[in-house]
Amino acid sequence: MKFSTSTPGTQPWFSLEERPVCCVPKPFIEVEQLSLHYGQKPAFRDVTLAINQGCITALIGPSGCGKTSFLSSLNRLTDLIPGCRLSGRIRLGGLDVMAPQTDVIRLRRRVGMIFQKPNPFPLSIRKNLEFPLREHGLRDRDRLANTIETGLRDVGLWDEVKDRLDSPALALSGGQQQRLCMARALVLLPDVLLMDEPCSALDPLSSGVIEDLIVGLRGHYTVLIVTHNLSQARRIADYTALFWVQHGSGQLIEAGPAKQIFEEPHDPLTAAYVSGMRG
Ligand SMILES: Nc1ncnc2c1ncn2[C@@H]1O[C@H](COP(=O)(O)OP(=O)(O)OP(=O)(O)O)[C@@H](O)[C@H]1O
């Protein structure tokens, strides 16, 4: 059962293990001729890209080519930036993301986001998960407790924090905070997880833990990850899209199966970037 068809607060909350596995080359997000401007300045132009369900898609490219802006447009976080303008079309699991009548709160529940710097609420570990669950209609105390435990187990945090659930989340290590943020997104049973350089602020060990968790999401969630770490993209991505700044704005240069992008790219820019000769 999926969020989009159930009534908030009544659906059975279940763990990652129990979610249906689906990694098929079937588009879940279809972006057509998407452009984004900050004021008069274009961040990216005319991006057309299909993102497959249940797969991990890595967005790569040099700084400033519009990767973060593209990611943020998918759950309309860009609405929050004054002067920011989107045009084109985004369909997400049948939903017209940019339609004025689209419920943005529901959209953001379906499309969770993890940022470069872990951003837990300045609340207890428990409240970091309880707060969004309550906001989205889950009130029953037992179900709240079970869902919080399941969420923390799904990110391998339960055993580390079960005895201090009421301690401040900000007292956790950076890697633990990032896993908590992942749990906070996952307990809402999103369809899509957007991750903006989720490992880049972490030490190598914590980064490896997050990377393993991302791999474990394959088949359960549609994942888009922005990364500057090409080795990481090679290791974890099913599909890869290269962005580049051309003619004063970000452009999608090439997208396809990660193996093809890294081993047999069609575009010379892709070849230069993945070989480390440019960017
Ligand atoms: N809030 C904003 N207001 C104005 N311009 C912005 C804003 N955010 C990004 N930009 C501009 O839009 C362009 C694309 O930025 P964006 O952060 O999306 O690129 P990026 O590829 O994610 O870069 P990086 O890899 O460095 O994070 C850049 O020229 C940037 O300066």
Going by the DSSP 8-state scheme, the letter that residue 5 receives in this structure is G
184-197 b/e (C-beta count within 10 Å ≥ 16 → b): bbbbbbbbbbbbbb
CA-closest residue to ligand 1 atom 3: 38
Does the structure show a pLDDT above 60 at 257? yes
Judge contact between 183 and 13, C-beta under 8 A.
no
Which ligand 1 atom sits closest to the C-alpha of 72? Answer: 18
Region 173-190 average pLDDT = 95
- pTM for the full predicted model: 0.91
Instruction: Tell me which of 65, 71, 245 to substitute to probe ligand 1's pocket, judged by most ligand atoms within 8 Å of the beta carbon.
Output: 65
Q: Is 126 in the pocket of ligand 1 (CB under 6 A)?
A: no
Q: How far is the CA of 178 from the centre of ligand 1 (A)?
A: 23
Cβ within 8 Å of residue 111, ≥6 positions away: 74, 75, 92, 190, 191, 192, 193, 194
CA-nearest residue for atom 14, ligand 1, is: 66
Beta carbons of 224 and 71 less than 8 angstroms apart: yes
Confidence of residue 18 (pLDDT cuts 50, 70, 90): low
* pLDDT confidence tier of residue 136, bands split at 50, 70 and 90: confident
Residue whose token pair is 């004063």:
248
pLDDT at 195 over 80: yes
How much is the ipTM here? 0.98
| CA-nearest residue, atom 29 of ligand 1 | 64
CB 180 within 8 A of CB 155: yes
CA of 200 to the centre of ligand 1 (A): 17
Minimum CA distance residue for ligand 1 atom 1: 81
pLDDT at 276 over 90: no
67 CB within 6 A, ligand 1? yes
pLDDT at 13 over 50: no
Q: Is 119 helix (H, G, I), strand (E, B) or coil?
A: coil
Backbone angles phi, psi at 56, to 5 degrees: -105, 120
Tell which one of 38, 200, 247, 252 to mutate to probe ligand 1, the residue whose CB is within 8 A of the most ligand atoms: 38
Concatenated DSSP letters for 24-79? -S-EEEEEEEEEEEETTEEEEEEEEEEEETT-EEEEE-STTSSHHHHHHHHTTGGG
Beta carbon of 43 within 6 Å of any ligand 1 atom: yes
Q: Are 250 and 72 in contact (CB under 8 A)?
A: no
* Residue 142: per-residue pLDDT: 95
Pairwise CA distance, residues 254 & 252, whole Å? 6
Q: What is the pLDDT of residues 35-76, one digit of tens each?
A: 999 999 999 999 999 999 999 999 999 999 999 999 999 999
Measured in angstroms, how far is the CA atom of residue 73 from the centroid of ligand 1?
12
**Ligand 1 in contact with 38 (CB < 6 A)?**
yes
| 251 close to ligand 1 (CB < 6 Angstrom) | no
Mean pLDDT value of segment 126-145: 94
Please state, in angstroms and rounded to a whole number, the distance separating the CA atoms of residues 106 and 92: 12
Query: What's the gap between Cα 238 and its chain centre?
Result: 15
Cβ atoms of 126 and 158 closer than 8 Å? no
Among the atoms of ligand 1, which is closest to the Cα of residue 226? 22
Helix ranges (DSSP H) in the chain: 67-74, 104-110, 125-135, 141-154, 158-161, 174-186, 204-217, 230-236, 258-263, 268-274
How confident is the prediction for the chain on average, in pLDDT? 91
Pocket test for ligand 1, best of 60, 69, 71 (most atoms within 8 A of CB): 69
Kindly state if the Cβ of 63 falls inside 6 Å of ligand 1: yes
Query: From the CA of 63, how far away is ligand 1's center (Å)?
Result: 8
Other residues' Cβ atoms within 10 Å of the Cβ of residue 27: 16
Per-residue confidence at 279, pLDDT binned at 50, 70, 90? confident
Q: How far apart are CA 200 and CA 179, in angstroms?
A: 14
Average pLDDT score over residue span 74-99: 96
Euclidean distance between CA atoms 12 and 1, whole angstroms:
8
Residue with tokens 């990377």: 211
pLDDT at 11: 44
